[in-house]
Chain A
Amino acid sequence: EPEVTQTPSHQVTQMGQEVILRCVPISNHLYFYWYRQILGQKVEFLVSFYNNEISEKSEIFDDQFSVERPDGSNFTLKIRSTKLEDSAMYFCASSASIWSGRTGNEQFFGPGTRLTVL
Chain B
Amino acid sequence: DAKTTQPTSMDCAEGRAANLPCNHSTISGNEYVYWYRQIHSQGPQYIIHGLKNNETNEMASLIITEDRKSSTLILPHATLRDTAVYYCIVRVGGGSNYKLTFGKGTLLTVNP
Residue positions of A touching B, CB distance < 8 A: 4, 31, 33, 35, 37, 42-45, 48, 50, 55-56, 58, 89, 91, 93, 97-101, 105-112
Given contacts A56-B96, A99-B93, A100-B94, contact A44 B43 (CB under 8 A): no
Partner-A contacts on B (CB < 8 A): 32, 34, 38, 41-46, 49, 51, 87, 91-104
Is the beta-carbon distance between B97 and A98 smaller than 8 angstroms? yes
Contact B99 A33 (CB under 8 A): yes
Contacts of A111 in B (CB 8 A): 42-43
| A108–B46 CA distance with the chains assembled, in angstroms | 7
Instruction: Looking at the assembled complex, report how far the CB atom of B19 sits from the nearest CB atom of chain A, in whole angstroms.
Output: 22
Contacts between the two chains (Cβ within 8 Å), count: 70
* Residue ID in chain A nearest B87 by CB atoms: A43
Q: Please state if B46 and A107 are interface contacts (CB–CB under 8 Å).
A: yes
A102 and B96 CA atoms in complex are apart in Å by: 16
Please state if B104 and A42 are interface contacts (CB–CB under 8 Å): yes
Cβ-neighbour of A109 out of B45, B92, B104 (below 8 A): B45
A109 touches B44 (CB 8 A): yes
